[in-house]
Amino acid sequence: MRHNQLLLEKIKESLASVLPITAIVLIISITVAPLTPGTMVLFLFGAVLLVVGMGLFTLGVDMSMIPMGDGIGVQISKARRVVIPLVVCFVLGFVVTMAEPDLQVLAEQLPSVPNMTLILVVAVGVGFFLVVAQVRMLLNIPLSYMLVFFYLVVFALSFFVPESFVPAAFDSGGVTTGPITVPFIMALGIGLAAVRSDKNSSNDSFGLVALCSIGPILSVMILGIVMPDMDAAYTAVTIPEIATTQEAASLFVHELPDYIGEVAVALLPIIAIFILFQLIFRRFQRHQLLKMVIGMGYTYLGLVLFLTGVNVGFLPAGATIGGAIASGGTAWLLVPIGAVVGYFIVRAEPAVRVLARQVEEISNGSITQKAINRALSIGIAISVGLAMLRILTGISILWFLIPGYAVALIMTFFVPQIFTGVAFDSGGVASGPMTTTFLLPLAMGACEAVGGNVLTDAFGIVALVAMTPLFTIQLMGLVDKLKSRASTKALRQAIHQELESLEEGVIYWEE
């Protein structure tokens, strides 16, 4: 009964997140970008699957993935030998990345490289940077220093990579940190920091996703340098022809087995690692294990429904809308419409809900879910608007990324460390399956309609989505810091005045 109540609450929250973007697409479809009835039916069916799938997924993550990651993090932090936690972190990062469904999307964009080669390279990158994150926590190195150093390396390498390959490399950083990776790695970070009792332990709970997002960028860039003859390519979006609602339902049923298998392959390595962990350490009791098994079932079913909904229902709608707006003499509308879509679509990202809730818990309510969601929405609105501007103008993405990251990295030295960790984590979290299956097709459809280069102009939207939250979240931290200083100053003045009045009273009585 308790699970049913929680599930109902999660589905209501999901409905509140998905309803705005559904309404916006409906409005767009009857004004500037008409959709065929078949595409609209697919979109609406997909929206229903999104609501149910996200509800199941978020409940399942709470019951299974978060306790798993947290328990493993706490246990390996207690190891006497430093090498053991580092090896475990690499293996976890490698396996979890191999399991990420969104990585398959990236692999399909580079057909000249075998899928498994690319997946292995990216997985090694994430595993290595999870080790780097653990070393940072052990040595108490400020996150700002690590971010500045590694992003300098990233941008230095970008000048040696083929131009058509750069956007795909930066996109890989956001794509890899998807709905499987983020909850597990964030919980792992909280567990690793939990055994420490110093003042920086809560700040160090965040930042793992931020550093792990750098790994795929560097890995794909190095791959491009090592294999200079490799060409980046993309798979064009195909719009299925649907005449009846029965055909639409049949398409979902036809595609469902693919995602059932894909998500099973994604979760099995994590489950295997957890079983091995439990057999060795016996950390969890029987009732806890039962709850986690039920939660993993919710996670599996929710992710299957979610991915089916966004890939079958949202992807064709995004490509059609982008092409219709760009080719109807209203191409300039891409920027404002893209900004509005970006503002609301981030609420439908499943991992964003996990991030916002964990941030509120770790910060003891000082950073609320509402504030995180608002800051992310503003950031994504800006990023999608910029991405549409790039499509219209053909400006290189480096003109946005280099100054953007420069400002964001400078800000890290002026805001509280917890906001830096949350900001850079949120960049990877915000660029999830909704971005790759709706915003990216939207950009590709628009780019093809205006006759642009899809590889250099449309790709890169994921990278921009991962960048702008760095400003908005850190700006929120800066405002919070200034408010805290102002309130502290006011309190000191009040205390000083009270002391002065007491001194005057003592002098009066003495006289």
Other C-beta atoms lying within 10 Å of the C-beta of residue 229: 6
Going through 319-427 in order, the beta strands assigned E by DSSP cover none
The pLDDT tens digits for 211-234 are 888 888 888 888 878 876 655 556
Whole-number pLDDT of residue 117: 78
Whole-number pLDDT of residue 315: 85
Whole-number pLDDT of residue 106: 62
pLDDT of 149 above 90: yes
The pLDDT tens digits for 233-244 are 566 667 788 878
Q: pTM of this prediction?
A: 0.82
Going through 167-286 in order, the beta strands assigned E by DSSP cover none
**Residue in the block written with tokens 């964003």:** 352
Whole-number pLDDT of residue 440: 84
Whole-number pLDDT of residue 500: 67
Whole-number pLDDT of residue 151: 92
How does residue 153 score in pLDDT terms, banded at 50, 70 and 90?
very high
pLDDT of 511 above 60: no
Gap between the Cα atoms of 182 and 57, Å rounded: 13
Averaged over 170-193, what is the pLDDT? 75
Whole-number pLDDT of residue 407: 92
Query: 374-378, 393-397, 437-441, 470-474 — which is least confidently predicted?
Result: 437-441
Gap between the Cα atoms of 59 and 191, Å rounded: 20
Pairs from 240-243 (Cβ < 8 Å, separation ≥ 24): 240/38, 240/42, 240/316, 241/38, 242/36, 242/37, 242/38, 242/39, 242/41, 242/42, 243/38
Domain that holds residue 309: 2-510
Q: What is the mean pLDDT of the chain?
A: 82
Averaged over 24-52, what is the pLDDT? 90
Gap between the Cα atoms of 315 and 336, Å rounded: 20
Instruction: Report percent pLDDT > 70 for the chain.
Output: 88
Backbone angles phi, psi at 379, to 5 degrees: -65, -45
pLDDT of 175 above 80: no
The dihedral of CA 439, 342, 427, 198: what is its sign? negative
Gap between the Cα atoms of 464 and 480, Å rounded: 25
Whole-number pLDDT of residue 431: 74
Structural domain count of the chain: 1
pLDDT of 366 above 90: no
pLDDT of 276 above 90: no
Cβ contact 193:418 at 8 Å: no
